[in-house]
Amino acid sequence: MTPIDHAARVTDVTTEVGDATLVVANLTDLRWLTGFETSNGWAVVRHGELFVGTDGRYGDKARAETEGTGATVIVEQQAGALAARRSELAGDVAPDRTIIERRRRVKDAAEIERIEAAAACADAALAEVEPMLAEEPTELEVRAELEYRMVRHGADDRSYPTIVATGPDHGARPHHGAVRRRIVEGDTVIIDVGALVDGYHSDMTRSWVVGDASPEQRATYQLVATAQRAGLEAVGPGASSRAVDAACRDLFEQAGCLDDYVHGTGHGVGLDIHEPPFHNQSSDLTLEPGMVVTVEPGLYRGGFGGFRIEDLVLVTASGHRVLTHSPKRELN
């Protein structure tokens, strides 16, 4: 894979910061900027220099991962001493996410390569596991197979705990995890699965009915599928994140089932699984080429179950490119 050019990021951010002082305390921002992945650390950028602080557990890792960025690595065993070192460098300047968060929204080619690779791992795992749905597995069995197979296909890990939400109760909960419930004929099935490759996430959801669909299942699924296509069509450079949400939401409202739509229409994906822009009614962000976002409308009803369809989409100069390729089944 193309290496991530952290040195270039450091140069760009250092230039933007200029004579000011930037304190980076968000750990994902720290990783984006320096390449250093940790559970405890910070960076200070000032006067053209980069300082990275961490504790004794991560000293070697910090030096190895920031190599080539020109970072000065500071290691202190005690939390108080580490905080004091940051104060020496940055005074009482508070951490600020603005500069890096804005830069993180637009992915470069190396980042897109990783996100696409992650999406491909989830596609490959789902293709192998989908036939299991007819064999009455438990939700947990489906999840374990998906997560294991994503790694076998090249992922470093799952992106998030895979959601397998099935049947009239679990299926009606958009963020139900996966339990020992057996999946049986007539169930609605939601599988929301993503992989992690070199820190970058993918995110995808597909839905099914096991066996023959009822008229209500068929109608509800088709409505979600129609809304999802409308949401995808709304993704392009210059479109507002709110418009992507509205494309789905308006269709559900016209169909009289807006109460069954209990979440936003999507979010950015990168080093975090959920990051700006967020497609919802209060978003004020405009989509730009290089942004990678989800489009994921769904409908959920207690006693019925639910459906969600989600793709991961790259905003391009001329429109968009879908990164998740698992087929969307027609209900029969």
What DSSP string runs through 91-130?
Answer: TTPPP--HHHHHHHHS--HHHHHHHHHHHHHHHHHHHHHG
Q: How far is the CB of 327 from its own copies (least distance, A)?
A: 26
If the CB atoms of residues 16 and 67 are measured against its own copies, the closer one turns out to be: 67
Please provide residue 75's backbone torsions phi and psi, each rounded to the nearest 5 degrees: -120, 125
- Residue 210 near residue 133 (C-beta atoms within 8 A): yes
If the CB atoms of residues 56 and 68 are measured against its own copies, the closer one turns out to be: 56
Q: How far is the CB of 179 from its own copies (least distance, A)?
A: 7
If the CB atoms of residues 91 and 302 are measured against its own copies, the closer one turns out to be: 302
Give contact residues for its own copies (rule: CB under 8 A): 39, 56-58, 60-61, 64, 77, 140-141, 143-144, 147-148, 151-152, 156-157, 161, 169, 172-176, 179, 262-263, 302
Q: Which two tokens stand for residue 322?
A: 């879908």
Q: Which two tokens stand for residue 152?
A: 């076998």
Q: How far is the CB of 278 from its own copies (least distance, A)?
A: 13
Residues 6+ apart with CB under 8 A from 232: 295, 311, 313, 320, 322
Element (H, E) at 275: strand 275-279
Residues 6+ apart with CB under 8 A from 80: none
Q: Say how far apart CA 75 and CA 140 lie, in whole Å.
A: 42
| 3-state SS class at 223 | helix
If the CB atoms of residues 140 and 257 are measured against its own copies, the closer one turns out to be: 140
Q: Which two tokens stand for residue 260?
A: 């069954």
If the CB atoms of residues 161 and 327 are measured against its own copies, the closer one turns out to be: 161
If the CB atoms of residues 282 and 332 are measured against its own copies, the closer one turns out to be: 282
Burial track 48-69 (b if 16+ CB lie within 10 A, e otherwise):
eebbbbbbeebeeebeebbeeb
Burial track 155-185 (b if 16+ CB lie within 10 A, e otherwise):
bbebbeebbbbbbeebbbbbebebeebebee
If the CB atoms of residues 56 and 91 are measured against its own copies, the closer one turns out to be: 56
Q: How far is the CB of 79 from its own copies (least distance, A)?
A: 11
Q: How far is the CB of 172 from its own copies (least distance, A)?
A: 6
ω before 277 within 30° of 0 (cis)? yes
Q: How far is the CB of 23 from its own copies (least distance, A)?
A: 24
| 3-state SS class at 286 | strand
Q: How far is the CB of 262 from its own copies (least distance, A)?
A: 4
Q: Say how far apart CA 233 and CA 221 lie, in whole Å.
A: 18
Q: How far is the CB of 253 from its own copies (least distance, A)?
A: 15
If the CB atoms of residues 64 and 83 are measured against its own copies, the closer one turns out to be: 64
Which residue in this structure is represented by tokens 């490959």?
A: 124
If the CB atoms of residues 152 and 321 are measured against its own copies, the closer one turns out to be: 152
Q: How far is the CB of 47 from its own copies (least distance, A)?
A: 31
Q: Which two tokens stand for residue 330?
A: 């027609």
